[in-house]
Amino acid sequence: MKPFLLSAKSLIVRNTENMESVTEAENLHIPDGLITNPYSIAAAVAMWIVTLAFLALAWKKAKATYPRSITALLAISSAFVFAAQMINFPITFGTSGHLVGGTFLAVLLGPYAAMLSMTIVLLMQAVFFADGGILAFGMNAFNMAIIGGLSFFLIKLLTQGSTSSKRFIPSVFAASWFSVVAGAFVTALMISPAFTGGIAVTVPSMLFYHAIIGLGEGTITTVLVSALQRMQPALMGGLTLLKERAKL
């Protein structure tokens, strides 16, 4: 497995003029440098439309859930995840990862406010740190903010409304891991037109690394959620929504 993955990575590097583009893509932040042909441009535009549709729905739903405090809530939660993402942990073969935070925000705020909060984080990274492109922003927001927010429903499915630690914490771990791997898979599909070999190169390499990164994501998320559940459960709006039987 290792020789194939390293050769796949070297093939990717040979087919792009910008090594930073490869590094960003590995971190799920697709740069504009990989939007290089009509197919990827069309995909980028389409993902802007899809993502904006999700965010419009998310804003409507989040306003209904938090009618008075939505702005402050988004600002505080976004700032926390933005800071937490600065901390990297080593993976393997010289690769490192960091918290994405989508599932954490989903548990903290609920799925829709999580999408908005995560999008704010990604927007700050793209505008102020050039971490991910503007043309590719719809792709990046979908892969991390939308998929991360939707992971809430996987937790809800696995817990069946129960918030007991025996069921809830493993469900949070599984959803965190899945959100990273699902985001990596979609990212691999999106960037494949930029590389010779296409998905045969991008999908195995991205999934291998992010299956490992997802373990770190799951561990960090469950530690944070467990601490909040124990010390400040009132702060966890998503936990309240998990208990409700009403359709979200």
pLDDT along the chain (248 residues), means of 10: 38 42 61 87 95 97 86 89 79 67 93 96 91 91 96 92 80 96 94 86 88 92 89 75 66
**CB-based contacts of 194, cutoff 8 Å, min separation 6:** 15, 16, 34, 35, 36, 37, 40
Question: Which pLDDT score is estimated for 4?
Answer: 33
Instruction: Please give the radius of gyration of the chain, using alpha carbons only, rounded to the nearest integer.
Output: 18
The predicted pLDDT at position 36 comes to 82
Q: Which two tokens stand for residue 92?
A: 């393997």
CA-nearest of 126, 150, 152 to 138 is 126
Give residue 33's pLDDT: 86
Note the pTM of the prediction, 2 decimals: 0.84
Classify residue 50 as exposed, middle or buried by CB count within 10 Å of its CB (0-12, 13-18, 19+): middle
pLDDT at residue 114, as a whole number: 95
* Distance separating alpha carbons of residues 101 and 111, to the nearest angstrom: 12
Residue 43 is predicted with a pLDDT of: 92
In words, the CATH class of domain 22-243 is: mainly alpha
CB contact at 8 A, 144 and 125: no
pLDDT of residue 20: 43
Q: Domain spans of the chain? A: 22-243
Would you list the DSSP string of 64-84?
HHSTTTHHHHHHHHHHHHHHH
